[in-house]
Every structure is written in structure tokens, then in C-alpha cells.
Amino acid sequence: MDSGPLPTPRLLDQVHAAIRVRHLSPATDAIYTKWIRSFILFHGKRHPRDMGVLEVEAFLSHLATRGKVAPSTQNQAKAALLFLYKVVLELELPWLNNVVQAKATPRLPVVLSNTEVARLLDQLAGTMGLFARLLYGTGMRLREGLRLRVKDIDFERREVIVREGKGGKDRVTMLPEALVGPLQDHLVKVRALHNQDLKEGFGEVWLPDALGAKYKGLGKKWHWQWVFPSRLRSTDPDSGVIRRHFIYPESVQRAIREAAMRADITKPVSPHVLRHSFATHLLASGYDIRTIQELLGHKDVETTMIYTHVLNRGGHGVASPLDRIGFGPIRN
């Protein structure tokens, strides 16, 4: 019997589905959902189909004036609304492209000196210490390192394959010689943990692009496991499967922030600072900008050029005239 038309999925469920179909990252899913929900709540839970340019401009203006968010954050919210209207609701609204885009003020990245990096890493032990050294030694982003699988480390070629980095692209970076032994020792422990999971009826890792449905049992294979798995198993909110995820990004961020405090580093330190330091230190060592661009996975070399401004400190490397006159000590 015909039971009638299927109920229309909730708007946010449609957003989740559209993001998954396009293989966008879970982080993008969380960010877009957050801004779309905020937009709807800001306008009294009105449906986006019933709103237009005035409501979008009012929301974005509110973020800038009342919320005092950074221009990059405001543009992030605009990107989420563009996705909602064009992809989810399939509405071609030329006015949305004309909504004013906030201009971000160019800022130099925070970079640690070689000594500061050594002091920071000296304060990190165990898994966090290994992971922080891997970020600095490879130039990977935080989530790229967390999503690393066993098969992505080539010990013979001394390479690390970064899968689906920013922009969904793969790339290859170096595996530091100093981390070969520690990583191999770490994987021995991870494999023992995986074997224990298998004995207890678990051990299946999340796979991309429905590979788990296409190849039965693939998610339990050793080479697909996370290099940095969580200590605890958890339930996948989408499938309900109990599995071991990778360690939480917040745990790494907190560990590095606290290590910087113990190392008495006054600069604001985050995992991404290790990536900035990687690039700047390679430039200082004489490596060309194109090579560093490929290692970082930047689409445009202009993005990589920001590190030349950090390297040419003190007014593009110009010596101050005060340093040339050789004055004596300052009198009290």
C-alpha cells in the first residue's frame, strides 16, 4: 500500500547529508552546522527559505559589531550560508555573492626559535611528545597528523603520506630520521592495543568513502588503523558502531599549551605554531620556497611567502642605524 510521501528531512540533517556526499571533513560539518543554526536562531527560528539578503547582512553585521568576531570568522559564517542556500536549498541567489566580505588584516604567524622549539618539546613526553615532534618534523596540520594511518608511514622511503589535507588533496612530506625508531616502538604498542580490541570483538576503524561496506573486514586490518588512537573506545554517532577514534584535538592543544607555560615561552603557542616554525626554519636553512610550498600543501606560493616576512625580521633584514654607531652604556 502507498503510505504517502516520505517526510522531509530536517534542515540540519540535509546539511549533514550534503556535506557527507561531497566528502567534506567532519570539522567543516561541525563549523557549517554551527553557523547555520546560529543564523536561524538569530532570526527567531525562521526558515532560511523565508529570508534573504537583509537577514544575511543583519546576521553578519551582528557578528562583526556585537560579537566582535575576527574577519576570518565572519567569512567562515558567510561560507556556511552560501553552502546552505546554494547546495542544500538549491536556491540561486545572486544577492548572496554581493554580501560584503570582511577583509582580514594580514598578520604574521607566530614562530618559535630553534631554542624555543627544543625547550617546548623537552616538556612533552610519551605519546604527546612523539606527536608534537612529528608535527614539527613534518609540517603537518593538527588534524592531518591525527588522521594518519599505519599505511601512510613509509619507513623505507622515510616519507609520510598526508591523505586528504586541506582542499582534499594528498601530498608527501619527509619522515624525520630522528623519529623512525620512536615511531616504530610506538606502533608496536598500538598494534598490541589493536590485537586486544580484536580479541574483545572490536578493532574496526572508521573508513572513508563507504569502503567498509564495499570491503567487508577492511576496517579491522592493521594497516588501516590510526597511528595515534584514543585510549578509550567510543560509539560512532552516525553508525552506532563502537570503535576507537584518534586522540582528541583538544587534548593535543591543551598539552602543547601547558608545555609552553612550563618552558616559560611567552609567545602564544598552539600545535599550528609548530607548522609555522617548520616552514620558517626550512627557509632559514636555505631550502627554496617551492619545495616548502609542496611540503606544506599550499595551493598558492603566495601563502608560503608569508614566512619570508618572518625570516627577514627587523624591517626586511635591514640593520638599524642605532646598531652601527657603537654608543656606550646608557647612564642612569
Catalytic residues: 141, 166, 272, 275, 298, 307
Q: How far apart are CA 37 and CA 69, in angstroms?
A: 17
Contacts of 73 (CB under 8 A, 6+ apart): 63
- HSE, side-chain direction, 13 A CA sphere, residue 265: 25
What angle separates helix 271-284 from helix 249-262, to the nearest 10 degrees? 70
DSSP 8-state secondary structure symbol assigned to residue 221: S
Three-state DSSP class for residue 206: coil
Angle, CA 208 vertex, CA 206 and CA 211 arms, to 5° = 90
Q: How far apart are CA 95 and CA 100, in angstroms?
A: 10
Name the phi and psi angles at 226, rounded to 5: -70, 140
For 69, 74, 84, 102, 237, the CA distances from 15, given in Å and listed in that order, are: 24, 19, 7, 24, 16
For 104, 116, 263, 303, the CA distances from 274, given in Å and listed in that order, are: 23, 11, 15, 17
Q: How far apart are CA 225 and CA 205, in angstroms?
A: 6
